[in-house]
Amino acid sequence: MNFYPIIWKELKLIRKKPWRFLASSLVMPLLYLVTFGWGLGRGMNVGGGTYLEFVLPGILALSAMNNSFGPVSTSLNISKLYTKTIEEVLVSPVSPWDIALGRTLSGLGRGLFSALMLVLVALATGVHLHYSVLFFVVLALTSFCFGAMGVAAAMLAHSHEDMANFNSFFIIPMSFLAGTFFSPDRLPQPFQSMIMVYPLTHASIVLRSLAAGNGPAMGSVLILAAYAAMFFYLAGRLVKKTA
């Protein structure tokens, strides 16, 4: 196992521009929080609680997704197609699985960090959820899942346009439809079944259940874990195919 050098470089780059990292991690989730939580959702109640308490777990899942998938897929795509920096790693004795793991774990770190920052913002503004160790484990699993998806997507993309299309046709629809801002059971049945295909839907379901002080919705945990395993396997295979 020699995946640490990949994480070492990520940490070096983050340490050089910490404010940029912090701002890019927080800007989108804060916008969602302000727009949908404090703006549109003010005064609304969902399932006996405020809309803000309802929407926050979904925004945390969304934040974990965006900050793991986005930076991992973008940097890997650029290094594969433009700067060719990935070739230094591909001609080193680091195995393809270690490359996939290093990149995925860096996505996990970024996703978890952005979610944690958002939790702190929410706590500071008086929004209290039931936070447990399991809640953060699920956030980590969500970040791992989308970090691995980022690696796989970047390795599949043959151009920057491919990457943009993946964002337009998969990530953005998932951001809005996967139960982040509303409960999936409010949709008509065919749409409900459709959005249950998204891994983000299951992350939101589990986090929402845990945040309400209930059990972890084991079905969704298992589906999320299965997606994480599948994306990581795909990521490793695709790196191996390139290496």
DSSP the chain: ---HHHHHHHHHHHHHSHHHHHHHHHHHHHHHIIIIIIIITTT-EETTEEHHHHHHHHHHHHHHHHHHHHHHHHHHHHHHHTS-THHHHHTSS--HHHHHHHHHHHHHHHHHHHHHHHHHHHHHTT------HHHHHHHHHHHHHHHHHHHHHHHH-SSHHHHHHHIIIIIHHHHHHSSSSS-GGGS-HHHHHHHTTSHHHHHHHHHHHHHTT----HHHHHHHHHHHHHHHHHHHHHHHHH-
Residue from 18, 19, 39, 91 in contact with other proteins (CB under 8 A): 91
Residue from 9, 137, 156, 237 in contact with other proteins (CB under 8 A): 9
92 binds other proteins (CB under 8 A): yes
90 binds other proteins (CB under 8 A): yes
Instruction: Please tell me the count of residues contacting other proteins according to CB under 8 A.
Output: 22
* C-alpha closest to that of 152 among 65, 243, 77: 77
CB of 76 to other proteins, least distance (A): 14
Rounded Cα–Cα distance for residues 141 and 224 (Å): 8
CB of 112 to other proteins, least distance (A): 23
Residues of this chain, 49-78, that bind other proteins according to CB under 8 A: none
Tokens of 67: 């900050």
5 binds other proteins (CB under 8 A): yes
Looking at beta carbons only, is 86 or 115 nearer to other proteins?
86
Residue from 20, 87, 131, 193 in contact with other proteins (CB under 8 A): 87
169 binds other proteins (CB under 8 A): no
Residue from 55, 61, 94, 217 in contact with other proteins (CB under 8 A): 94
89 binds other proteins (CB under 8 A): yes
Stretch of 37-45, 89-97, 137-145, 178-186 contacting other proteins, by CB under 8 A: 89-97
CB of 184 to other proteins, least distance (A): 42
Residue from 35, 45, 88, 120 in contact with other proteins (CB under 8 A): 88
Residues lying near other proteins in the complex (CB under 8 A) are found at 2, 4-5, 8-9, 12-13, 16-17, 83-85, 87-95, 243
